[in-house]
Amino acid sequence: MTGEELEQYIIKYRKTVWSAALCYIKNPADADDIVQDVFFKLFTYDGKFDSEEHIKAWLLRCAINRSKNLLRSHWYKFSAPLETAMDKTYSDDNKHSGNEMPAMFMKLSPKNRVVFYLHYYEGYSIAETAKILNLSESAVGVRLMRGRKQLEKALNNEGSENNGLQNDC
């Protein structure tokens, strides 16, 4: 398929593919990503199409399948928009304000911080985190354990400092 042919199909079917994806995932940004994936798949597809209707059906089927895969993915299930992530992570139920926790997180050693980020913020399993960082699963587990201990120590130190201030008043 040439670039010109692809461009014609994009112009003709972009809205249709986007609408199909949006029906499933209900997020315009994710629908945009799916449209891009589907048309890239069309560009790299080696098969033959019988007609325009066949191309349209193929594009819609790809969009629907990609949408279903996204909804089933671990990342999608355990991720949240950036605006709501801060609210969930640093709620008023915490004794720390939203500005203090990132500083605490940044106190972790870089090795532990990246493992913590991938595991807790991105939702990767220990095995997936190990594969991404080219580490053994036991090394990832140890880094998570050390990171939790570092955070617990930092939070306890801060808590004792705050209690001392409150008693002085």
Confirm whether 77 is domain-assigned. Answer: no
- What per-residue confidence (pLDDT) applies to 139? 94
Q: Could you read off the pLDDT of 107-132 as tens digits, one per residue?
A: 777 777 777 777 877 677 899 888 87
What domain range includes position 7?
3-72
**CATH number for 30:** 1.10.1740
* Residues 86 and 68 reside in one and the same domain: no
Sign of CA dihedral 59, 60, 65, 68: positive
pLDDT score recorded for residue 91: 44
| DSSP structure class, residue 119 | I
40-54 mean pLDDT: 88
Residue written as token pair 């928009």: 81
Contact of 71 with 24, CB cutoff 8 Å: yes
Residue 11 has pLDDT above 90, yes or no: yes
Residues 27 and 89 in one domain: no
pTM of the entire predicted model: 0.48
Regarding whether 135 and 100 lie in a shared domain, the answer is: yes
Render pLDDT for 25-34 as a digit per residue (tens, 0 to 9): 878 889 999 9
pLDDT at 80: 64
* Cβ–Cβ < 8 Å for 74, 125: yes
